[in-house]
Structure 1
Amino acid sequence: MKEQSPFSSSVTHGWSYDVSLNFRGEDTRFYFAINLYKSLHQKGIHTFRDNEGLRRGEGITPSLVKAIQESTAAITIFSETHALSTFCLDELVQILERIQRKGQLVLPIFYGVEPPEVRHQRGNYKEAFAQHEKRFNNDKKKVQKWKQSLRDAADIAGFHFKPGQEHECDLIERIVKEVSRRINRKPLHIANYPVGLEYME
C-alpha cells in the first residue's frame, strides 16, 4: 500500500460505532489508550474498545469482528509489545481487510516505536514473530498474513509519539481533532440555561 492520508475514504452513515480501538492492553490500557478513549467519548465520538482482560480462548470473538466491521474508523496503537498479542494481530487483519472491502478509515499511532520497526518487523516486533513462527509452525499462512497487515498499516500516514518529546495529552488532542474533522462529528450542543441539571463541584 502507498502512503496515504490517515482518513482517505468517504464516510457512510449507519455505522454502529464511529471508532474502534486496537491496542495492546499491557502497554497502554491504563494510560494512553484509556485517556484517548475518554477524550473521544467526551467529544461525542462513539468508540468501541475491547476488554482484553475478559477474553477467553485463542480466537478473536465474533462480537469483536462485528464491532470492527460496524465502525466508521479504526485507530491502531502500535506499541512495544503489540506484536506479541495474537488478538491484536487478528484484529489488525480484520481492520485491513475492512479497508479493502468497505473503505474503512484507519489511523495508525506509533507509540514509542518507529514505523520501520512495525513495517519490517524489527526490534521487539522481530522477537515477537520469532515466537509466533515457532508456535504456529504448522500455519505459516497466518503468520504471513500478520506480517503483511503490519506492513500495510505502517504505510498509512498517522501519528508518531516519542516519549519525552511531547506530552501525551497534546497528542490525544491532535488525534481527537483529526478524527472529529474526518468523520464530521460536531460537538453536542448544550443549552445556555439547562434545566434539571444538578451542579456538582
Structure 2
Amino acid sequence: MESIDRSFTIRADVGFCSSHEDFMCLHFAAADFPEEALSTPRWKHDVFLSFRGEDTRKGFISHLHHELDYWQAIKTFKDNRDLERGTSISPELLCAIEESQLAIIVLSPNYASSTWCLDELTKVVECMEARDTILPIFYGVDPSQVRNQTGSFAEAFTEHKEKLITKKKVEQWKADLTKVANLCGWDSKNF
C-alpha cells in the first residue's frame, strides 16, 4: 500500500479496465481516513490533471476525473475552461499545481501544441520532480514521440519557433517533456 501525505491510503490495485460500454476508467480504491487527515490536510488537491482539452476533455479526462472524484476521497483539480490560443497560464492554475500532492499528465497528440499545457508541465516538473509525484499517461502517442519530440510533438515545436517563442523557453519545454516521458507511466495502447 502506498501512503499519501493526507494520511489516507491508495491501494496498490490501481489500474485501467474496459467496461461493457467500452470506455476506459481509472479505479482507485481509497480507505483509512484518520480524523486528523480530514481536519488538517497538507495539500489542497490530491491530484492535478494536466491535459489538452481538444484531445481528451470530453472522453478520457471526464471518465478519469469521475473515477478519481467518485468517492470524494481523492480531491482532483481539473481546469474546466476552454482556453483561447495564446492565453497565458493563470496565477490560480499555478497555485493549484503548487497545492497538489500528485500530477497526472495526459500526453496526447496535440498536448505540445498548447503553450498553456507546456507552461503547466514546466510548473509541475518544478514543483513535483523531486518528490517523484508525476504520473504520465501516454494517450494516443508513443512515449518515444514525447521523449524525442517526434511526430506531432516535432510539428508543435516547429510552430512554436515560427511564433518567435524564445529559444530558452522552447528548450525548457523539450527538457521537461523528456523528463516526464522517462518516468514510469501508462500507455493507452496497453489499456
TM-score scaled by structure 2? 0.75
Residue by residue, what CA displacement relative to the aligned partner does 1:47-92 show, whole Å, maximum 9, x if unpaired? 0011231568621100000000000000000001111011100000
% identical aligned pairs = 44
Q: Secondary structure at the match of 1:60?
A: coil
Give the letter aligned to residue 179 of structure 2: D
The number of residues matched between the two structures is: 155
Distance 2:110 2:129 in 1: 26
* 4+ long deviations beyond 6 Å: none
Query: Hey, what does 2:30 align to over in structure 1?
Result: none
Distance 2:68 2:84 in 1: 24
Task: Give unpaired runs (5+ residues) of structure 1.
Answer: 1-6, 167-201
Distance 1:129 1:68 in 2: 24
The structure having more radius of gyration, on CA atoms, is 1
CA RMSD of aligned residues (A): 2.1
Query: Hey, what does 1:145 align to over in structure 2?
Result: 172
Task: Give unpaired runs (5+ residues) of structure 2.
Answer: 7-40
1:41 aligns with 2:66: no
Q: Is the 8 A contact 2:102 2:128 kept in 1?
A: no
Query: Hey, what does 2:5 align to over in structure 1?
Result: 11
Greater strand proportion: 2
Higher relative contact order (CA 8 A, sep 6+): 1
Distance 1:117 1:56 in 2: 23
1:26 aligns with 2:79: no
Residue 11 of structure 1 deviates from its aligned partner by 3.2
Residue by residue, what CA displacement relative to the aligned partner does 1:138-160 show, whole Å, maximum 9, x if unpaired? x1111111101100000110000
Residue by residue, what CA displacement relative to the aligned partner does 1:111-150 show, whole Å, maximum 9, x if unpaired? 111101000000010001000111125x111111110110
